[in-house]
Amino acid sequence: MYPRTLSKTIHSISDSFPVLMLTGPRQVGKTTLLEICAKEGTLAPRAYVTLDDMDARALARRDPALFLQTWQPPLIIDEVQYAPELFSAIKIMVDRDKRNGLFWLTGSQKFQLMRGITESLAGRVAIVDLLGLSQAELDGRAALSRPFVPTAPWIVAARAASAEAPKPLMAVFRQIWLGSFPRLIDQGAKTRDVFYRSYIQTYIQRDVQDVLKVSDQLAFNRFLAAVAARTGQLLNYANLARDVDIDNKTAKAWLSVLETSGLVFLLQPYHTNLTKRMVKTPKLYFLDTGLAAYLTKWPDAASLEAGSMSGAMLETWVVSEIIKSYWHNGLEANLYFYRDTDQQEVDLLIESGDTLYPVEIKKTASPSQNARRQFVVLDKLGRTIGPGAVLCLVERDIPLSQSVTAVPVAYL
């Protein structure tokens, strides 16, 4: 068992809201996390029911009020998206009871969940997102993890928390190749291919089938591989649809399901009215690099590190780790990238208050001393530009200029 950063946030949110909704892809540990947090809670013992159980699901749909008499709060309801009829009954109960922390809900299909939540539980529910194990959680630093921002206090704290020996290149790529699903971390590399093959067949295809009624599973499998091959790139629906031999509308619908299932993340370009020369297309990232590496058929970490997708996979992993640093602390990740029609680009912009913090991601242990030049293009945005970072494979943080620091990816 790996302690999760989100556990402290769950307790604080549960003290303030009657309903907590924990969303995220299947198999990232949502149920395990809530069961562990329930043992630490101050309320009466928390009951548990999963709507993967067909009898429980049938009762929840047929008679929600009777369901909530059978399983009374404080209660964990797993995979609640299968019975949206429950939301109105939960609303009635929390409005009558007035206590916080009554219901903890989990769901893996956010596209089905949000409609019921916004209609019935607005103002009564706090929504938090969980992804696979972060590097901080794997390294035993879950309680010390803080949202990444390249300021001096964050770097000092990360240096102290990561005081062990530097993480070598191949250790980083083994982590990238293996992925972040807890069960896979426990079982190890021997079961990786079986795990991902089963994951695609039993979860991804089933969830997409529930929503979109996909008739051509072979085309959908080709689509998954084509999306994985484009991780870290600008999204081009026409190009993607052509490679899979589907139309643009289908490509958009299928990608939307992957996004709302927490499997891919679309990083939006930063926009301002001061310039019209910016690219307006989002960048596509898989949120689990192990799944992306499996879909693109890299047989081991060494071939991935030496291969054509090496830089894109490292960038994908870093972006997903930064997202986890926010989401696992219960915070929104205000992340963007910059690219203009002159091909000038900054990999990541982190917006905090009125300040933008620029970040470059490089597969190098010897970052250029001229890194500040890459960020000069941001001066025309009319925003306060904070300290920048080059996230790379250095052993410890190194100042590259007065305003830019090389930061080890191991600090994340």
**Is the same domain home to 80 and 170?**
no
Q: Are residues 111 and 19 in the same domain?
A: yes
Predicted confidence (pLDDT) at residue 380 exceeds the cutoff of 90: no
Last residue of a domain, one of 112, 129, 146: 129
Quick check: helix, strand or coil at residue 384? strand
CA distance linking residue 68 with residue 139, whole number of Å: 40
339 in the same domain as 275:
yes
3-class state of residue 78 by DSSP: strand
Supply 91's token pair: 């609303």
Report CA torsion sign: 173, 195, 145, 361: positive
Confidence at residue 134, expressed as pLDDT on a 0 to 100 scale: 96
Mean pLDDT of 192-199: 93
130 CA to centre of own chain: 7
Count of C-beta atoms within a 10 Å radius of residue 266: 14
* Residues of the domain holding 362: 135-411
Q: Which residues contact 126 (CB under 8 A, 6 or more apart)?
A: 13, 16, 17, 19, 20, 21
Mean pLDDT, all residues of the chain: 90
Query: Which domain-ending residue is among 90, 110, 129?
Result: 129
Lowest mean pLDDT among 46-55, 158-167, 271-280, 346-355: 271-280
Name the residue among 97, 71, 112 with its Cα closest to residue 19: 97
The answer to whether 290 touches 189, Cβ cutoff 8 Å, is no
Domains contained in the chain, number: 2
| Within-domain flag for 301 | yes
User: Does any domain span residue 236?
Assistant: yes
Is 195 inside any structural domain?
A: yes
How does pLDDT run across 74-114, given as a tens digit for each residue? 999 999 988 989 999 999 999 998 899 999 999 876 666 66
Yes or no: say if 388 and 150 are a contact pair by the CB < 8 Å rule.
Answer: yes
Same domain, 73 and 171: no
Read off the pLDDT band of 283 (50, 70, 90).
very high
Q: How confident is the model at residue 330 (pLDDT cuts 50, 70, 90)?
A: very high
Cβ–Cβ under 8 Å, residues 258 and 264:
yes
Both 168 and 106 in one domain: the answer is: no
Of 159, 157, 190, 206, residue with least CA distance to 27: 206
Q: pLDDT tens-digit profile of 111-142?
A: 666 666 767 777 888 999 999 999 999 999 99
The answer to whether residues 243 and 323 belong to one domain is yes
48 with 149, same domain: the answer is no
For residues 290 and 313, give the distance between their C-alpha atoms in angstroms, rounded to a whole number: 9
Note whether residue 159 is domain-resident. yes
The last residue of one of the domains, among 108, 129, 150, is 129
As a whole number of angstroms, the distance between CA 178 and CA 184 comes to: 8
Mean pLDDT, residues 270-294 taken together: 84
User: Domain check: are 322 and 405 in the same one?
Assistant: yes
Q: 3-state DSSP: the chain helix, strand, coil percent, rounded to 5? A: 50, 15, 35
Q: Is 307 within 8 Å of 105 (Cβ atoms)?
A: no
Q: Is residue 1 part of a domain?
A: no
Q: Which two tokens stand for residue 71?
A: 């399983």
- 48 located within any domain: yes
Reported confidence tier of residue 198, pLDDT bands at 50, 70, 90: very high
Of the candidate ranges 125-139, 232-246, 272-286, 371-385, the one whose mean pLDDT is the lowest: 272-286
pLDDT of residue 313: 98
Q: Do 142 and 243 share a domain, yes or no?
A: yes
My answer on whether 123 and 140 are in the same domain is: no
- Between strands 19-23 and 125-129, the pairing is parallel
Residue type, 266: L
CA atoms within 13 A on the CB side of 130: 28
Q: Are residues 42 and 83 in the same domain?
A: yes
Residues 125 and 139 in one domain: no
